[in-house]
Structure 1
Amino acid sequence: MAAVGRFLAAVTLAAALSPGTGTDQVPVLAWSTESSLWAPDAAPPVGRILTAEQLSSYLKPALDRGPKTVLLFLQDKLSVEDFTVYGAPYGNKQENAFSNLQKALETSPSSLVLPAVDWHATSSLLSSLQQQTGKRPLYVHQLTIHELRLNASVPSLLVVHLPYTSSSIMMPAKEALTGNDNIIGEVLQTLKSEGVPFLAILTASRPSKITQDGPMMVLGPSRQLLASRDEGESEARGSYPPLAYNQTEDKACILFWAAGIHISKGGTPVDLTNRTFGPGAIVDVGSSTCENETATLVLEYDNIEKLGRVRIVFKMSNRLYKVSGKWWFTLDQVEVYLDNDRASFNVTQVYAPAMYSYHCKRVAQDEVASSILPWSSSTRLWDVIFDDFQIQGFGVKGMHFSYASDCAGFFTPAIWMGLLTTLLMVFILTYGLHMITNLKTMDHFDDPKGPSISVPQTE
């Protein structure tokens, strides 16, 4: 049976039979480019939770005889239920959050699956690997790993941190797991292309809590990180897919989406949403361009009522910042043409990591949008509004947005209200303490034992 089949069978039984499933254990997956590192029956019986010593004994043969390059994918949270809920090994790959991981297990000469390991053991796995390899861990990123010069004969311990959040406010669990799986695929592909033999280990520091009743739903349009889309998400964001500019017939290089597009100059804004997305779209994106460091999305409309010919241009750039060692993309300029009239907005607040998309609830030239499209005297008559705006000009894979960098500020009205209320209570408490410490007693009291006052009586 293939490694994936053994793994899914093991995790399913582990979820049903192991005590405390999902609360005190995490899975550990290991695979290597070299064969015969583990016996076919090396996996423990289903239902047994391995301790730190037992985990070390299972990994020891691969560390002793396997490749010198050890690659640890360390996720914040992971449980066996993640694989049973979000994995679809024999179905559509779009519904499977672990397609790259399953492919790695299927094609690796040696693999080991430990469905249930005490999370205290996995949280200290990095220090244990450091002791066994004699090397300090080197934290790497999927975008910079190709810059490393690895020597197959020299031991090295590489660590790739995989974030995970189960909060539907920040990111749906399936979205996060899919993104982490894409990171795993990119790192493995880089090592294979350079011909570096390796031993890879995937685990987490703590178990996650999986709760799912029915289909996964996305709550609200804000902070929707569109690594994948399902029916619930389509209903939440709209019934139409994002607008894509394809540099080739089968590969998109720019994605754009908005819940509403309204443009005008000195009049009532005209809605261009249905003309841009869905079956009634008439927009032309043929003038758009894609390069490694620059991208331009051009939306052209003909014969729009009250406006005539409309042209909207988004100019983006992709730069490497040496301080952080990462590529970031920025939306530098937005230009709007109405026949012979032109409005140009020099944008400074739209940026995100190169592999991410950018999302904002509202992008417009007004105070509500926090001047994302900066106001100027030359554009004061223009109304340019994008509701639920999302764009990605680099690192596009398929027809789905990557993780989104959101424009939402940290200090929301609720946070400001809480801060002001706290300051008011602190002021009242300080004033009360000040009054108590300044109380003074009377300097003189009447002596009750003194002579009483006598009033003479006259006849």
Structure 2
Amino acid sequence: MAEKMILHPSSSTVVFAVLLNVFFTGTYGNQVPLILWSSGGSPIPEASPPAGHVVSSSQLSSLLASVLSSGPRAVVLFQQDKLSIDDFTVFGGVFGNEEDGAFPNLKSALQNSSGQLVLPSVSQLGSSRIVQLLQEQLRTTPLYLEPKNLAQLHLSASDPALLVVRLPYSGTDVSSSKDDLRANDGVIGRILDIMKAQAIPYTAIYTAHGPSQVIQEQSLDSQLVGRSLLQTNVYAPVQFNDSSNNACILFWANNFTVSVYQGKWEMTNLTTQTFAQTPKLDGSKCSDTDSRLSINYENVLGFKSFRVTFVMSQRDYKVSARKWFTLDQILLEYDNQNTTLNDTRDIYAPGEYSYHCESVNIFSSAPRTPSATQWMLTFGGFQIQGFSVTKGRFSYANDCASFFTPAIWMGLLTSLLMLLILTYGLHMIMQVCTMDRFDDPKGPTISVPQNE
């Protein structure tokens, strides 16, 4: 049988709701937010806590005593495993206009309350003792509810009651966090609907045992416009400065691998040595027409000294009436030997742009024979700019991916084929004409002899 609870009616209902747009978006260590609202009545007399103030356990006890002294003494406590103020700011839908927020029922409950207030930062000690504090104020035993047993909840308004609903929260990634919060919001909505259907005035509290670590969703506003997005990567690009200490060459790759073939392939990854550390750029230079970026290494593929040099030039082309820069070649120097990689003819961009390509493979021209040495450079997320660098940042990137991709060509050709079929069909229909003469029905009929 479902347990009966008697609730004491109150002449006035006190509202104590949490305003979530309270200028807080950071992480609060061992502090959690607390939302408290009632089904109606006069607002809470206390003022909002000042910005940045952490509500202690004693202050929380005083606030609860003030609210419950004149408000509904039927209290529903929604206690989540983990919760932070960032859960509301990231997943939204409480006080804003978001239609896809994770808290539609909580938003509706706050909008229908007669007053709103926020406690964005309550000490974890106070939050962990909230059941004990409420039990002392109401002088009743808490009743722990499971979401699956909500249909058995039956209330009446005579004596105080304390309902405790535990809500899970894993928060392993963005998708699961939003799903957990949306499911918990559904439980909140079902319980509030039961309270409303039974006409029971209530005071509801939404808090947690401890803070959560919110996984931030990527915002498009934080990205740069266009294709020069590499400024947000973990490592800064390699930068060479001119005599005035202004950046004149920039180079970046999220993966930089050098491979050599001497009977078999050997490979080494230079990404960390190039970008996570400060490389030696001896031999680099830059001017308005020619630039060289030389990156020096030690102990690469068995060579004590190893240097990679990007040779770039900028020329004025009359046909396009603008300047273009090209990566003419890449020089490899290793233990008094050198190799030139000329397979760079497709790496070019307007003079004021950078060049970007998601994947670049550059081979040396030596034939693959047992006695010959062949080199291969592999770049992932390759971007380079040798001219017109401003403020140490890449300019808009000329990407190697053409606008007319194979998928676009397939769509265009398919559309053209369908258009030709439609045109041919219309042409055939327009050629159909009616007969200009008909047989005379009063004349002799045509007789066709048949051989028996």
> TM above 0.5, one fold?
no
Range into which the TM-score falls when normalised by the shorter chain: 0.3 to 0.5
